[in-house]
Amino acid sequence: MSTPTDRKPSRPSGTPPEGNGKFLLGMIGLFFGVLLLGAGATMWLGGSSSMGPAIGGPFALTDTGGKPFTDKDLRGSYAVLYFGYTFCPDVCPTTLNQLAEALDRLGPKAKLVRPVFITIDPRRDTPGVMKQYVQAFSPDLIGLTGTEAQIGSVAREFRVYYAPHRTGDGPNDYTMDHSSVLYLIGPDGKFIAPLRADAGAEQIAADLSRHLP
Amino acid sequence: MTRVFLRIVAAGLLSVPFSLSSAAWSDGPIQVTGAFARAAPAGGVGGMFLTIVNTGPADRLTGAASSVAEKVELHESIDDKGVMKMRPVAGLSIPAGATVKLAPGGYHVMMMGLKQPLAAGGRATVTLTFEKAGQVEVEAEVVKPGAGAPEGHSMDHNMGHGMGNMPGMTPSK
């Protein structure tokens, strides 16, 4: 399965000489385009949540008990959302563990925040699989799955990129590519800020406490 | 620190009969230290991380197997501009005299289809296969999910042969 980054910029090998000017112009355009994109992403991670289209929104998912769970079930507390999958033994558990440690560092304020893990691999991550997975981290960690459509919808709302990558011929021979960001949501359900997922527990705790009362 | 939590059983085809009956450490050029696996439920996947110390000639890690999993592969985690990717790797070169770390955010031994849960505090065993050194059995401590190296175990202990860490010799990551 091909992902956007798998594609190499292709140009016919026999490009005529008169095409070079256009090609150069195109490259310059591309360069500034990438620059703009980079600046946008930097500002976005810098916490300027007021910029650009809204992030987040209503969702309808399924909890680890197989019961419906919507965005309204999080109202009244802060929530930190992380999108990943349980068949990931490296980045996802590292992030969830650092989030748990960050909450520990917050002391009594930690009870204001509910950590939520949303799978982007609903095919394998059934409520039962999610239950076993989140229980091993913390009794407070909420695990959510859903139909492909439900997961697609919540991922779109939060600008989460995800795509399967085949590693073999078997039905389960794939890994998931996914963006890795922590999303802080307020008690009113509105998105507050993205937090760096790879910053370490101490930094995540510092980032969180800036937004907590 | 005195607790040896790794057992290297066999290294090198010729030394197999001796190594199997001998104590914890092989006399072979490949030693594995600081191995830990993250707790995972049965049916799930487990990641094992470890450090390979090569006091001999250049070698290559070509595969891994374990009785606790249906399939074991070598995987690499890649941070591609904020998109996390995990890819199987066919092998990992272990340069002469190098220390190669399989650490979170880089390489790991991927145990798929766990036949039994990996419980924190327990042990998990994999057999690594090297092109020259042959099979090396590694016993890892199981830590809680998402955790780093187990506390109290420096990655540098039991390195032996005075090679220590050699930055720049590890695979880029």
User: Could B86 and A179 be called an inter-chain contact, meaning their C-beta atoms sit closer than 8 Å?
Assistant: no
Residue B172 lies in a domain: no
- Looking up residue B42, the CATH number of its domain turns out to be 2.60.40.1890
Average pLDDT over residues A75-103: 96
Q: Which two tokens stand for residue B166?
A: 């050699």
pLDDT band at A37, cuts 50/70/90?
very low
Same domain, A39 and A72: no
User: Could A90 and B144 be called an inter-chain contact, meaning their C-beta atoms sit closer than 8 Å?
Assistant: no
Which of A172, A177, A196, A193 is closest to A94 using CA atoms?
A196
Average pLDDT over residues A49-69: 87
| Weakest mean pLDDT among A38-42, A76-80, A84-88, A150-154 | A38-42
- Residue A193: per-residue pLDDT: 96
pLDDT band at B149, cuts 50/70/90?
confident
Residue A5 lies in a domain: no
Structural domain count of chain B: 1
Residue A120 lies in a domain: yes
- Looking up residue A120, the CATH number of its domain turns out to be 3.40.30.10
If DSSP states are collapsed to H, E and C, what string results for chain B? CCCCCCCCCCCCCCCHHHHHHCCCCCCCCEEEEEEEEECECCCCEEEEEEEEEECCCCEEEEEEECCCEEEEEEEEEEEECCEEEEEEECCEEECCCCEEEECCCCEEEEEEEECCCECCCCEEEEEEEECCCEEEEEEEEEECCCCCCCCCCCCCCCCCCCCCCCCCCCCCC
Average pLDDT over residues B104-131: 96
- Residue B151: per-residue pLDDT: 62
**Predicted confidence (pLDDT) per residue in B10-50, tens digit:** 333 333 333 333 233 455 899 999 999 999 999 999 999 99
Q: Which two tokens stand for residue A17?
A: 């000489």
CB of B105 within 8 Å of a chain A CB? The answer is yes
Place of tokens 């310059």: A28
Residue A50 lies in a domain: no
Same domain, A157 and A196: yes
Structural domain count of chain A: 2
**Predicted confidence (pLDDT) per residue in A103-160, tens digit:** 999 999 999 999 999 999 999 999 999 999 999 888 999 999 999 999 999 999 999 9
- Interface subset of A 72-131, CB within 8 angstroms of B: 86-91, 93-98, 100, 129
> Which range marks the domain in which residue A146 is found?
60-211
Q: B110 to chain A: nearest residue by CA?
A: A89
Residue A146 lies in a domain: yes
Same domain, A185 and A144: yes
ipTM value: 0.74
Q: Which two tokens stand for residue A72?
A: 């309204």
- Residue A100: per-residue pLDDT: 94
A137 contacts on B by Cβ (under 8 Å): 145-146
Is residue A83's pLDDT more than 70? yes
- Residue B164: per-residue pLDDT: 34
Residue B99 lies in a domain: yes
What CA–CA distances, in Å, run from A51 to A47, A48, A100, A173? 9, 6, 29, 39
User: Could A136 and B108 be called an inter-chain contact, meaning their C-beta atoms sit closer than 8 Å?
Assistant: no
Same domain, A114 and A179: yes
Round to whole Å and give the CA distance between A213 and A99: 19
Hey, which of A51-60, A200-209, B25-34 has the most confident mean pLDDT? A200-209
Average pLDDT over residues A59-82: 98
Neighbour-count burial of A10, counting CB atoms closer than 10 A to its CB (0-12 exposed, 13-18 middle, 19+ buried): exposed
- Residue A44: per-residue pLDDT: 52
Contacts of B4 (CB under 8 A, 6+ apart): B24, B158
Q: Give the residue from A64, A90, A96 with the most B CB atoms within 10 Å of its CB, the best one to mutate.
A: A90
Mean pLDDT across chain B: 79
> Which range marks the domain in which residue B58 is found?
16-143
Cα B20 → chain centroid: 19
